[in-house]
Amino acid sequence: MLNILLFAILFAFVGTRNGRVLLMKTLRAPLSETPFSVRRVLTVNSYLAPLFFRRAMIYAATYPLTQAEKSWIHHISEASWNGVWIAPNLKDVKQAQEIAPEQDLVILYIHGGGFTEGYSYMYMDTFQTIIRKLKNKHNMRASILSLEYNLSPEHTWPTASTEALDCYRYLIHDLGISPSKVILAGDSAGGNLVATTLLRLKDRQDDDLPPLPLPAGAVLLCPWLDLTAQAFPAMHDTITPKMLDAFKARYLTNANQMQDPLVSPMYGDFSRIRCPFFVAYGSQEILKPSIETFIANIKRDGCDVTVLRGKENTTHNWLITSLMATSRAVYERDCQAYIDWMATTIQQ
C-alpha cells in the first residue's frame, strides 16, 4: 500500500504539467536563496560535468514555468537562423513581426554560454524586466528578438556570427525596421557576437544592396573579446581559464583562427563604427583586463563608450541574471543602468 501511495505522489508531480511546474518551483526556490559564495562554487564546479548534462541543467534551471511567462515567447524559424520574439500581449509570431516596425525600440539579443551552451529565452526574468521598465519609466514600447544560434561543437565558427548578421538583416531589410530603433545586445560570448556583427556590418556597408546600416547602439555585458588571452587575474569569478579553454576548443577548428578580429574583436578596427557602446564588467571578473583594453581601443578609434564597472564583488554576467549576482538589489540596480542607457540612446 505504501509503495502504491508513493507512486501516486510521484506521478502527481512528474506525470502532470501542474505537478512538474510545482516540482521545479520547489527545486529552484533554494537556489535563489543560497548564499552567492555557494552558488559561485557550484557554477565553477559544474563545468566538470559533460556538456550535454550542463545544457540540460541550464535549461532545467531557467526555462519558463508559468503560462504568463510562456505567453511572451513566440518562436521564429527563418532559412538561415532561428530565434524567439519576446513581448507581452501578442497572439503569435506573425503579430510580433507586424508590430515590430511600430515599436520605439527593438533589441536584438544574443545570449552567452561560451558559444557551446544556453538558449534564446533563458533570461526571461531579465527580458520581462527590460520591457516593463522601458514602458513604465520611459514610456517606450519595446520588443526583444533573441537569437537561437547554433551551438558548438556541433556548429563551429563562423556559423553563429553569420546567423547574427542574417538576423539583423531580417530586422532591417525584411521587416523594414529603422536602424535608429535597433540596439544589439549580448552577454559574454553573445557580447563577442555583437562586436563581430558590427565589424561585419562595417565591412559590408559598401557591398550590401540595399545598404545595411549600423544599429542605434550596442550593449556588451561582460563580453568575451579576446580568445587569444592566456593570462588571467586570480579572482573569485564564476568562470575559470579552464572553462574558456574548453569553450575555445569547441568553437574553433584551428587555433590560428583566434587572432581573426571576427573571432577576437579585441583586434578589430572600429574606427568607422559610429554607434555608441555600453560596456559592463564585474569587479571580480577574470575577463576584466581584456575588456578594459577593448574599451581603450574603441575609444582610440573614436567610439562613444559608456562604461559600467561593477562593484561589491560582482562577477561574470551578474547584471543579466540574478543567479549570478551577489544580491537581487545589485542585479536590479545595474540592470537598470543599461536599460536607462538604451532608452536615452534611442530618444536622442
Active site (catalytic) residues: 188
> 189-204 and 159-169 helices cross at what angle (nearest 10)?
60
- Helix (H) / strand (E) element for 334: namely helix 328-347
Cα-trace Rg, the chain: 20
DSSP, residue by residue, 284-329: T-TTHHHHHHHHHHHHHTT--EEEEE--TT--TTTTT-GGGSS-HH
SS3 content of the chain, % helix, strand, coil (to 5): 50, 10, 40
Which residues make beta-bridge pairs with 187?
221
Q: What are the beta bridge partners of residue 309?
A: 281
